[in-house]
Chains A and B, each alone.
Chain A
């Protein structure tokens, strides 16, 4: 199954100017080591990337191949890329016991088939994925994550990194402690987004029978809707406020909620989707799109 084509290059950091035109995604400062590898894969390949610090960019292409280009400045780390069956593992390994933070950095550019499944760990830096339709699991500490035109079962977990998801479909679960989320033009049937102190913006479609659960502790949750949308809304802020612009039909059997809660409950149009917004002491806004 596997054919490996290995190209290794080595150039002086002073030639960074030449690199910049071809490698716009990578730092303009010295990148002492570069590896490029190609792996032939079957459908639904699994690609894992473990990188403590640096940028990871993943894009889909039409080939049944995984191409990895990785750059790192220091001799104290190395990038390994291995294939086992239909799985490709990319890893940044520390070679010395102590490595300065700048030396730890490695940047990856990975091209994958569109149905690939991704598992990405990047402590700090940045992760961006575009046009990949397989399931995805992304975990970071401080790195921000950006997904575009992704589909499948998407799970993202950060500690402080922000998250942006544009034109994604499938099922999305994202959690963070202090990261904020922007969920734009989504066509997902199930969204679960939870952050403690970050803000959440949801400006996407409410699919019939879809479920949308957004939760934070403090901060702002903002959801935008159009007059043609159809959802059951349950918006509760324990100690904060709920500002709702949707004209709701109250439920047939209203719950008895404490008057201390900010809340908005009811059905908008036919109530085909389910929207649950919860905050501890933040603000929830349900706004009509212009």
Chain B
């Protein structure tokens, strides 16, 4: 069943149509949730919530945007609501980031000594670092670099401007770089400690 037909039938409550829409989109939505929250149990819960909201609201879908964009907007909102509740702060979407230079936050040191990421970064390291990002940065980074959305799509999904999406992405990448460097330094420190400890034991 093509998607357009499935949407039309789902709006009339057709069970097979619901299932078809779920089949078409469940992997992408689940992957998005998993990348944002980092654990499968919560990702399952969020995926279910996103589809539930989708099917409750499907009658309001009027085709003004692509269905997948609409669905992903719903999914991102569901995830962000959960992340915001966790951080226990009521902030707007655009405020869920770290202070930037314009608002007086400290300027980040863009150069990092000695350690290079090339060769040291893999998916797992990156995943761990992404988990530490503030929700706003995390959303844009996951949507753009991981899921492959363009900025105009992200702007529609997140309800922000294209400029804002680009700026958030850049800040997210810079922050990830810092986090990855910190992780590398911690790892190097641990390795030195382990090497020093074993020598000490021999003494």
Contact = CB atoms under 8 A, between A and B. Distances in A.
A touches B in complex, CB < 8 A: yes
Interface of A: 46, 87, 117, 119, 135, 137, 155, 171, 189-190, 207-209, 211, 270, 274
A190 B56 contact: no
A119 B92 contact: no
Most buried by A among B59, B60, B164: B60
Contact of B56 (A87, A207, A209, A270): A87
A208 B57 CA distance: 29
Interface residues of B, number: 13
A207 B93 CA distance: 11
B94 A189 contact: yes
Most buried by A among B59, B102, B159: B159
B90 to A, nearest CB: 11
Interface of B: 56-57, 59-60, 92-94, 102, 159-161, 163-164
A274 B94 CA distance: 14
25 contacts: A46-B56, A117-B56, A119-B59, A119-B60, A135-B57, A137-B57, A155-B60, A171-B159, A189-B92, A189-B93, A189-B159, A189-B160, A190-B159, A207-B92, A207-B94, A208-B94, A209-B94, A209-B160, A209-B163, A211-B159, A211-B160, A211-B161, A270-B102, A274-B161, A274-B163
B138 to A, nearest CB: 17
B59 A209 contact: no
A168 B92 CA distance: 14
Determine chain A's interface SS by DSSP, over half rule: strand
Determine chain B's interface SS by DSSP, over half rule: helix
Contacts of B160: 189, 209, 211
Contacts of A87: 56
Contacts of B164: 209
A87 B59 CA distance: 14
A106 B92 CA distance: 38
A3 B92 CA distance: 36
Contacts of B60: 119, 137, 155
Contacts of B94: 189, 207-209
Contacts of B93: 189
Given A117-B57, A208-B94, A211-B159, 11 more contacts: A46-B56, A137-B60, A155-B60, A189-B92, A189-B94, A189-B159, A189-B160, A190-B159, A207-B92, A209-B163, A274-B161
A270 B163 CA distance: 13
A155 B59 CA distance: 13
B80 to A, nearest CB: 13
B159 to A, nearest CB: 5
A211 B60 CA distance: 22
Contacts of B159: 171, 189-190, 211
Contacts of A171: 159
A190 B161 CA distance: 9
Most buried by A among B59, B102, B161: B161
